[in-house]
Amino acid sequence: MRVIRSIHSLRQVINKAKRQNKKIGFVPTMGALHDGHRSLLKKCRRENNLVVLSIFVNPQQFAPHEDYAQYPRDKKKDELLAKKENVDIIFYPSEEIMYPKGYLSYVTVESISDLLCGKSRPGHFKGVATIVAKLLNCVSPDILYLGQKDAQQAYILKKMIADLNFPVKVKICPIIRENDGLAMSSRNRYLTQQERKEAPILFQSLQEAKRKILAGERNLITISRLMESNIKRYSHGKLDYIECVDPGTLAPLAQIQKKFMIALAVKLGKTRLIDNIIIQIYAMGQRIK
Ligand code: PAF
């Protein structure tokens, strides 16, 4: 495994791999790696000859009041985990390399960046799209691997890739959960003991919504209210949003359709948690995925 810090050295290795017809898979991260990242790396390893992992805590996707300074950074642990997953290259650029003095260029994926998490995190997805565009230009992968937990991020990046003609295929991988259902996230480590006990309420309320829909409930307002009251009752969490959206466009839905996504964000203490499920209804049999 090589740890590469400069874009020039990375491109030399990538160009050599391309000349050898190697298929290049890429997993972008901000480090503090967990089993969710591992599942992306495992899939990437299975499907490619060269596995590139980037670790860069991107300042452009944090608002000034957010957790950029506290964001967990554990280079040694990350390197160990990457080695275990047979990563070939860790790209570890510095802030000066990615955003040198005088940096002026940004990527905005309009309108969909303002929905869901974008409402309470203005500018966040501009930061995400910009860094991923830059990383794609450095790594030139054949396949980019992203996680379904950050469903809006994945959707926005897919749109950016299509709109700007990046020659890369995108694969979205399933959410990996703790035993109690909490979606894995680097930010889970911020939770106090009490908050950690309460955190599975996000997934539990999604499951409860699914059960209600299975039992025939079709009113989205009733479902959102039920989820909200569960969150209030069983946690100290402050609800940011619960939304039912079309998974193909992220457009908010007024009515249940055959396939839809329920997404939510909850602030538990200082930690903002997100989760989602995609529900598919097969005719009147109401089989749910
Ligand atoms: O999901 C993340 O870890 C980040 O948003 C990403 C995609 C690595 C961009 O900084």
Which pLDDT value is given to residue 23?
A: 98
* Residue 132 and residue 255 in one domain: no
| 8 A C-beta contact, residue 144 and residue 54 | no
Number of domains in the chain: 2
Which pLDDT value is given to residue 125?
A: 98
- Tell me which residue has its CA closest to atom 6 in ligand 1: 29
Instruction: Single out the residue of 193, 81, 141 nearest to residue 132, CA to CA.
Output: 141
- Tell me which residue has its CA closest to atom 9 in ligand 1: 128
Which pLDDT value is given to residue 288?
A: 45
Residue 215 in any domain: the answer is: yes
Which pLDDT value is given to residue 283?
A: 63
Verify whether residue 8 is a known catalytic residue: no
Return d(Cα 268, Cα 288) in angstroms, integer.
29
Burial of 37 (0-12, 13-18, 19+ CB in 10 A): buried
Q: Which residues line ligand 1 (CB under 6 A)?
A: 28-30, 58, 61, 128, 131-132, 150, 153
Which pLDDT value is given to residue 282?
A: 80
Residue 7 in any domain: the answer is: yes
H or E segment and range at residue 248: none
Return d(Cα 92, Cα 6) in angstroms, integer.
8
* Residue 45 and residue 164 in one domain: yes
Q: How far is CA 247 from the centre of its chain?
A: 15
Q: Catalytic one among 37, 65, 124, 236?
A: 37
Range of the domain at 123: 2-173
Which pLDDT value is given to residue 200?
A: 98
Which pLDDT value is given to residue 244?
A: 97
Which residues in the chain land under pLDDT 50? 284, 288-289
Among the three residues 173, 197, 219, which one is the final residue of a domain in this structure? 173
Return d(Cα 243, Cα 252) in angstroms, integer.
7
Among the three residues 173, 204, 231, which one is the final residue of a domain in this structure? 173
Among the three residues 116, 151, 173, which one is the final residue of a domain in this structure? 173
Separation of CA 29 and ligand 1 centre (Å): 5
H or E segment and range at residue 131: helix 124-139
Which pLDDT value is given to residue 214?
A: 83
**Which of 55, 73, 121, 132, when mutated, tests ligand 1's pocket best, judged by the most ligand atoms within 8 Å of its CB?**
132
